[in-house]
Amino acid sequence: MRIHNIYVDDAGETHWRDIEVNWVEERNGSKLSDRLPANGIIFRETAGSYDLDWHPAPRRQYIINLDAGVKITASDGEAREIGAGEVILVEDIRGKGHLSQSIGGKMRHSIFIPIE
């Protein structure tokens, strides 16, 4: 399982990398990871016209898209389309940040899981 991760370097530029989930247990036909820290849950509905200019993330958090995707562009120019069911770890809480844009004009429901 892959988690998309957007992070900021010492110069304030944002970049993408992938994080592989580390499985620590198998039981009843399932694999489980370690329990990761979290601090609440936020439900979000985003309009299909969503097109946000450069901004840093408001906090370190996981974002899980439920029913539509989002295009996120890092300041180094790499853009990723994150689809429904995919997970993002946003950690670019300083620097230039990233661009966020809806895909196909679809309303998106997502879950934010703060980790601060």
Block residue for tokens 């601060």: 116
Query: Letter for the amino acid at 109?
Result: H
Parallel, antiparallel or unpaired: strands 70-74 and 23-27: unpaired
CATH number, domain containing residue 55: 2.60.120.10
Q: 46-60, pLDDT tens digit by residue?
A: 999 999 999 999 999
Domain coverage including residue 59: 2-114
**0.85 surpassed by pTM:** yes
Name the β-bridge partners of 109.
Answer: 45
Q: Is the pLDDT of residue 108 over 90?
A: yes
Alpha-carbon gap, residue 94 to 9, rounded angstroms: 9
* Cβ atoms of residues 113 and 64 within 8 Å: yes
Total domains present in the chain: 1
